[in-house]
Amino acid sequence: MPINKRVLLAKRPVGEPGDECFTIEEVEVGEPGDNEILIKVCWLSLDPYMRGRMNDTKSYVEPLQIGDVMTGESTGIVMQSNSNKWQVGDRIAAHLGWQSYIVVDGDDARLMKVDLNNGSLSAHLGVVGMPGRTAYFGLQEVGKPEAGETLVVAAASGAVGSAVGQIAKILGLRTVGIAGGAEKCRYVKEELQFDDCLDYKSGNLAEKLATACPDGIDIYFENVGGDVTRAVAPLLNTGARVPICGYISNYNDEDISKAETPFHILEKLETVPEHRFFVVYEWQDRYEEATIQLGEWVKDGRLKYRECFGEGLDNAPELFRGLLKGKNFGKQLVRIADKEA
């Protein structure tokens, strides 16, 4: 049987998670039992929400415990199956953490079949996977867009933000992105065809937003928080909606309970916009609908995406730190297996 390499939470971070927060170990993979399958992982997704799971604080899910496999979704191939539900060779997505092989019950709710007609294995961790579905449901179900409205999305070159803006354009909205650096802004405006994209690193963001959004902002899709939210908030129109996906600027705070979050910023406004935090699992029964539609938009060229690759589980902690600092350009993935076969 193969050897499983996996990454465990070794210590709770204070601020940025250093190498001491992770332990990499190798263990033998057991034979699959009754109704179990063996998955060879090809790709691992790195996502900002993982940082919150490392803290010992209440959230929408239980925090990781010391010694747990780091949380995360991966895609791979079924190598052995004792389940009637799965065949050898099936492509599969599994929300079962940072590891190279997985033995799991075939009926586990954290498994999802991958249809390569909707996109590649790696794309099922990005544009047609969890980030794409987050954009799809967060924008439409929480943002409630209407043609002609103005949408602003933070982290516009990232996996979620880029999909949000492109879906908004498909739905007939004026779309303004916010990203870090001239190269990312050029990509968002020229390749993704947003109406505008503003570089928050170049200063005067509030003034630039006012110019880019002369009729105010109807939907602000929140991914960042902090100074970006403070610049957006005064421009929100009466009746505006703010889907809150995350606020990555605060994730490495030593005590996030003391941070000024988007909730604090929005609730200080004279007219408080409709806003709420959401998680994509709210629409788990509609995942297939979203993935098929996202895949169709990719095929017809209306939904473009970019992937950022790292190599091997040994490098996952450093790649994760880079993600939290915005060093990635597009969806951050880690290649675990050399071949998808």
331-335/36-45 β-pairing: antiparallel
258 pLDDT band, cuts 50/70/90, is confident
Helix (H) or strand (E) holding 137: helix 130-137
Cβ contacts of 61 within 8 Å, gap of 6 or more: 53
Q: Once rounded to an integer, what is the mean pLDDT over residues 290-314?
A: 97
At residue 247, does pLDDT exceed 90? no
340 pLDDT band, cuts 50/70/90, is low
Q: Which of 54-68, 190-204, 206-220 is least confident?
A: 54-68
Q: Is residue 226 part of a domain?
A: yes
307-311/101-105 β-pairing: unpaired
User: Could you tell me if 157 and 228 lie in one domain?
Assistant: yes
The pLDDT mean for the chain works out to: 95
Q: Is residue 100 part of a domain?
A: yes
Give CA torsion, residues 269, 273, 277, 278, to 10 deg.
-170
At residue 219, does pLDDT exceed 80? yes
CATH number, domain containing residue 8:
3.90.180.10
Q: Report yes or no: 336 and 42 within 8 Å, Cβ to Cβ.
A: yes
Q: Once rounded to an integer, what is the mean pLDDT over residues 214-238?
A: 96
User: Could you tell me if 47 and 70 lie in one domain?
Assistant: yes
Helix (H) or strand (E) holding 293: helix 287-299
User: Could you tell me if 146 and 180 lie in one domain?
Assistant: yes
Task: Give pLDDT tens digits for 275-297.
Answer: 999 999 999 999 999 999 999 99
User: Could you tell me if 79 and 157 lie in one domain?
Assistant: no
Query: Whole domain around residue 13: which residue ranges?
Result: 3-125+305-335
What is the pLDDT at residue 46? 97
User: Could you tell me if 228 and 149 lie in one domain?
Assistant: yes
User: Could you tell me if 208 and 181 lie in one domain?
Assistant: yes
Task: Give pLDDT tens digits for 76-105.
Answer: 999 999 999 999 999 999 999 999 999 999
User: Could you tell me if 78 and 196 lie in one domain?
Assistant: no
Q: Once rounded to an integer, what is the mean pLDDT over residues 147-166?
A: 97
User: Could you tell me if 180 and 248 lie in one domain?
Assistant: yes
How far is 46 from 329, CA to CA, in rounded Å?
13
User: Could you tell me if 92 and 111 lie in one domain?
Assistant: yes
265 pLDDT band, cuts 50/70/90, is very high
At residue 341, does pLDDT exceed 60? no
User: Could you tell me if 264 and 181 lie in one domain?
Assistant: yes
Nearest to 4 by CA among 311, 310, 313, 309: 313
In the chain, the number of structural domains is 2
Nearest to 341 by CA among 79, 111, 102: 79
What are the phi and psi torsion angles at 246 (to 5°)?
Answer: 180, 175
Task: Give pLDDT tens digits for 194-215.
Answer: 999 999 999 999 999 999 999 9
At residue 20, does pLDDT exceed 70? yes
User: Could you tell me if 60 and 163 lie in one domain?
Assistant: no
What is the pLDDT at residue 248? 81
What spatial distance separates the first Cα and last Cα of the chain, rounded to whole Å? 17
Task: Give pLDDT tens digits for 72-83.
Answer: 999 999 999 999
User: Could you tell me if 107 and 213 lie in one domain?
Assistant: no
